[in-house]
Every structure is written in C-alpha cells, then in structure tokens.
Amino acid sequence: MSVASKKIEEKYQKLLKDIQRRPENRTCSDCDSRGNQYVVLPLNIFVCTTCSGIHREMQHRIKGVNMSTFSTDEIKALEKGGNSVGKATWMARWNATDGTPPAEGEVEKLRKHIKDKYEHKRWYSDTPAAAPQ
C-alpha cells in the first residue's frame, strides 16, 4: 500500500469513527443498547451485538466498526445514512399505539420487531419523515 493510499484510508477510518460518534448513532438503531459496534451495510445503520446477530440471520451484511475495513463508498453511504435516516425511513409510520421497541435482552421480541421493521416493512415509508438533526 502506498503512503498516499494509506493516508486516504486513515482519513476515511477517522470519518467512520466520527460518524459513529454522532448523537443519533451512539445507540443501537433497533433497541435501547448503547453499544453500536456494528454496521448493517444495506441499511447504513449502527446496531449492537445482539441486533447484529439477528440481522445476520436475515442475511444482511454486517461489518464490525473496529474489526473490518470499510470501502470509501461504504463510508460515504454511512455519512448520508445513519440511524436518524434509517429511523425516518423504517419507522416513519410508527406511533404510540405500537408500544416501545424491545430492550436489548429481549431477543425473541427483538427478532420479531426487526423482521416486522425490515422484512415486512410494517412502519416503512418510501417518503420518509424528516430525519431529526
């Protein structure tokens, strides 16, 4: 690897960490956990260990923030995405009568919630609500 390409990779890895540290990305996109060590690539969201396992069961591509190398395109997609954009899209029709999302330890409830959310598109809107800033 040349010095120039190493510098570009370091720049993008720093950008990935900065994206991960944004307030909306500090917690899991699918539960209340503060551990957001994984990225669900097709959705461009940050999730915890428990939820990453459920996404893997659904054949979603997962990468660990500290354990994987991300391409510049993946990092650019995350920069445009993130948990706020994911929530605005996948939870756009969520309301108080739907209750609260399951807690991190409630694996079976989480599995159902994640399948309802992404496979069945229960709360999805292709005209998402505005992502909170």
Which tokens in the block code for residue 31? 């539960």
| pLDDT tens-digit readout, 49-92 | 999 999 999 999 999 999 898 998 999 999 999 999 999 999 99
Q: Helix or strand or coil: residue 97?
A: helix
For the cut 90, the answer to whether the pLDDT of residue 110 exceeds it is: yes
**Total Cβ atoms within 10 A of residue 73:** 9
Kindly state the DSSP code that residue 93 receives in the 8-state scheme. T
- The model scores a pTM over 0.85: yes
